[in-house]
Amino acid sequence: MLTGPIRNDIDKLWEKFWTGGITNPLTVIEQISYLLFARMLDQQEETAERKSKLTGKPFTRLFPDTKEGQLLRWKNFKNLSGKELHKHLKNEVYPYFAKLGQYSDEQDGIGQEGSTQQALGHISEYMQDADLEIKNESVLVAALEMVDSLPLNQSDVKGDIYEYLLSKLTTAGINGQFRTPRHIIDAMIEIMDPQPWDTICDPSCGTAGFLARTMEYLNRKHSSPEAIWEDEEGNKHYPGDLLENYREHINEDMFWGLDFDSTMLRVSSMNMMLHGVNGSNIVYQDTLNKSIRENYPKQEENFFDVILANPPFKGSLDETNTNPELLSMVKTKKTELLFVAHILRSLKLGGRAAVIVPDGVLFGSSKAHQQLRQELVENNQLEGIISLPSGVFKPYAGVSTAILLFTKGGNTERVWFYDLQADGYSLDDKRTPLKGEASNDLPDAIEKWKAYRQLVLDNVPAEQIQAQFGDKTQKAFVVDAADIASNKYDLSINRYKEVVYEEEQYEDPKVILGKLMALENEIMADLKELEGML
């Protein structure tokens, strides 16, 4: 959580961007990202310099050890005047970002070819199109001052800063991509319970919300009690000190995010860096395109332990360029069906997924819809479905959705359903936080899921599971796979949920009529009395 002063500083800067002519929230985030990135590189260089001084060992430089090279560092250009600063960032600093990791040792002495890029992830890739769009010099100076004051030495605070910036995104992209609410992401991550040795993917990563929040989850789960600290507002911070044995895996192999929007790639790569992951695999790739088999053949099939996703629900699709392996599983142009098919394909045997899908996936009557649902039930373990209220994704969209929980391989004995009616926020465009009883079902859904999973893991008899989750009038209940198969694999919760209707007691019509006549007589008597007064 951020302190109030940091939030206020970001809000003030946001207003400055707006009044300075930059009104697209994604552009604002992108421009602040570049400045955050510039300062972080300088911090990394300072840390390496101190370490080298103490140990006497040489280090791989990020910036050439020349006058021009050192002027590319944050500490050396941050005090330039507005006009000079604008020219220097646009012509020198940002173009240099795109070359990081591409220079060789012989050319400029910053390390072996690729060494810098390996340490910092896909920097040169997502910074290729970096451009300074802040034309107003006073806005640029204010932005530098704000970024310079941020506590970027604390990775969890860095992540919170970026999350707060991303929370200001309020419009959906042309292909239906939009920011998934962080409380929904957190619930899905807790349900999946990823481990520090897992390999995790979001095949439509957007701003990398699922991946960044997974890192926060791991930090919370793997921090020793004495390392947890509180800020002045009582917010707890988790350093993840018990993850050291897995740090190389976390930095280089654990996180994979695919997207074909270059702006989103820049934002998501920065998001991961600000969450302390320097080498996340945020890559340019249309997940459903056949080129994935050439570009990422290993990752395309039987590779990931955990997949968390909220794929786009709309958008045109060129069937000729679609991965043929997906079309063999489900013959359709609908992206939401193809994404589920891809996720099934890219999971390793025993791999788990939590995927948000529109309700149409659950009950659509086309051959492709039924084919996909049959594949999930018959040839995999469809473990759970959480039905979400229709306002969860407002103001972006009002579509009704659900979370599919499944494991690759095996077959399905029963499916656990949960009817989530409230997520802690109003279901209108404002999405204001709610308090009080029945305002948030998410904690109960997570608790019920964990209780159900424990019964399954303990291999208890089916009768015992039925005794605890057999009542279909409750929010959480189970349905046998045989019943689902007999209903054309329909997975909509309303097909199976039982509603208890309370019997209303009404008076005899003659008694009601008598009361009406008596009332009419009283009115007539009052009118005659009024007439006598005239």
Q: What DSSP character marks residue 502?
A: P
Closest by CA to 406, choosing from 376, 387, 382, 380, is: 382
How far apart are alpha carbons 441 and 421 in whole angstroms? 7
pLDDT in tens, 216-230: 999 999 999 998 888
Choice between 423 and 318, residue whose per-residue pLDDT is larger: 423
Amino acid 403: pLDDT: 96
Q: Are 254 and 200 in contact (CB under 8 A)?
A: yes
Angle between helices 262-274 and 155-166 (to 10 degrees): 150
Phi-psi region of 419 (alpha: psi -120 to 50; beta: other; left: phi over 0): beta
Residue 447 buriedness (CB in 10 A; 0-12 / 13-18 / 19+): exposed
* Residues 6+ positions from 274 with CB-CB distance below 8 Å: 36, 40, 152, 155, 158, 159, 161, 162, 212
* Degrees, nearest 5: CA angle 398-333-322: 125
Q: How far, in Å, CA of 460 to CA of 52, rounded?
A: 58
Three-state SS letters, 134-192: CCCHHHHHHHHHHHHHCCCCCHHHHHHHHHHHHCCCCCCCCCCCCCCCHHHHHHHHHHH
DSSP H stretches of helix in 236-277: 247-249, 262-274
Which DSSP letter does residue 90 get? I
Q: What is the Cα–Cα distance from 395 to 476, expressed in whole angstroms? A: 28
pLDDT at 124: 63
Mean of pLDDT over the chain: 85
Tell me which amino acid residue 118 is: Q
Which helix (H) or strand (E) is 259 found in, with range? strand 255-259
Cα(495)–Cα(405) distance, integer angstroms: 18
Q: Are 485 and 505 in contact (CB under 8 A)?
A: no
Q: What is the rounded CA–CA span in Å between residue 217 and residue 152?
A: 20
pLDDT over threshold 50, residue 119: no
User: How many residues comprise the chain?
Assistant: 534
> Using CA atoms, how far apart are residues 264 and 173, in angstroms rounded to an integer?
10
> Greater confidence, 107 or 303?
303
Window from 231-235, 435-439, 498-502 with minimum mean pLDDT = 231-235
Q: Considering only 116-120, 143-147, 201-205, 402-406, which range has the smallest mean pLDDT?
A: 116-120
pLDDT for the residue 178? 56
CA distance 252 to 341: 27
Beta-carbon count within 10 A of 234 CB: 7
CA distance 115 to 119: 6
pLDDT of residue 121: 45
For the cut 80, the answer to whether the pLDDT of residue 280 exceeds it is yes
Tell me how crowded residue 57 is: count the other CB atoms within 10 A of its CB: 8
3-state SS class at 85: helix
φ and ψ of 43, to 5 deg: -65, -40
Which of 288, 277, 286 lies closest to 122, judged by CA? 277
**Residue % of the chain over a pLDDT of 70:** 89
The pTM assigned to this predicted structure is 0.81
Tell me: pLDDT of 90 over 70.
yes
Strand partners, 289: 322
Give the span between the Cα atoms of 202 and 452, in whole angstroms: 26
Between CA 529 and CA 534, with CA 532 as vertex, the angle to 5 degrees is 120
Token representation of residue 109: 């002495």
Q: What is the DSSP secondary-structure string of 329-396?
A: H-----HHHHHHHHHHHHEEEEEEEEEEEETHHHH--SHHHHHHHHHHHHSSEEEEEEEEPTTTTTTT
Mean pLDDT of 236-244: 87
Tens digits of per-residue pLDDT, 101-111? 554 333 443 43
Look at 262 and 295; give whichever has higher pLDDT.
295
Sheet strand arrangement including 381-388? 281-284, 255-259, 200-202, 304-309, 347-358, 401-407, 381-388, 414-419, 476-480
- Per-residue confidence (pLDDT) for residue 534, from 0 to 100: 79
Predicted confidence at residue 113, as pLDDT, reads 36
Most confident of 114-128, 184-198, 269-283: 184-198
